[in-house]
Amino acid sequence: MTFVEIILLSVSLCVDTLIVSMGASLAIGKLSRAGKIAGTALTFGFMQAALMFVGWVLGHSIVSYVYSFSRLVSFALLAYIGVMMVLNALGKDKGASASLSGFKSLLLAAVATSIDASAVGVSLAMAEISLDDMYLSICSVFIVTVIAALCGMLGGRYLGNRFGKPAYIIGGIVLVMIGVRILFM
């Protein structure tokens, strides 16, 4: 794989991370903890790179399994987070936290946006991509995803400060819509 192909692969895998981190981070509009934002971005980057590597290692033996369930799993996770965001914004579910501030929600969002990376890893294994190219791809996916998540978190934080509760509701609806789009692709 060429360097340009690796970068394009990385960018295409992190688009959903950008959107999800922006939508779900609306809740942190009043927070200013750089460590929390950096930790969230690193979690997204790690999950994306790790699932891509797992897909590559497992290779073609699971391609049909990953493909058949990936859409449903992504939809369920994104719909759950989105519905929780809307319910929290409307005050209907005081006990749940659907922002990226809770570990459970962060992990669910990271997995939901990274399932496609495992399928890409499988396809790279089937294309007999070398171990060196795979390491370079994994590093690139990690770095680009972290940058996308940081941009999404900071953009969502700005919108949360600026527009508050309506932005939080819109963010939740956007997450559900992304899940529906993934389900019916």
Q: How many domains does the chain have?
A: 1
With helix as H, strand as E and coil as C, how does 54-101 read? HHHHHHHHHHHHHHHHHHHHHHHHHHHHHHHHHHHHHCCCCCCCCCCC
User: Is residue 95's pLDDT more than 50?
Assistant: no
Q: Any idea what DSSP says for residue 1?
A: -
Domain, as residue range, for 140: 3-25+32-183
Residue 129 half-sphere exposure, CB side, CA atoms within 13 Å?
25
- Tokens 């590597």, residue located: 53
Q: In a 10 Å sphere around its CB, with 0-12 CB exposed, 13-18 middle and 19+ buried, how is residue 62 labelled? A: middle
pTM, two decimals, is 0.71
pLDDT digits (tens, 9 = 90+) for 100-143: 667 887 888 888 888 878 877 877 787 778 888 899 999 999 99
Cα–Cα distance, 10 to 3 (Å, whole number):
11
Cα–Cα distance, 158 to 29 (Å, whole number):
6
% pLDDT > 70, the chain: 75
pLDDT digits (tens, 9 = 90+) for 16-46: 788 778 776 765 555 557 777 888 899 999 9
50: its two tokens: 């790790």
Query: Are 5 and 63 spatial neighbours (Cβ–Cβ below 8 Å)?
Result: no
> 3-24 and 103-126 helices cross at what angle (nearest 10)?
160
Cα–Cα distance, 8 to 77 (Å, whole number):
26
Higher confidence at residue 11 or residue 26? 11
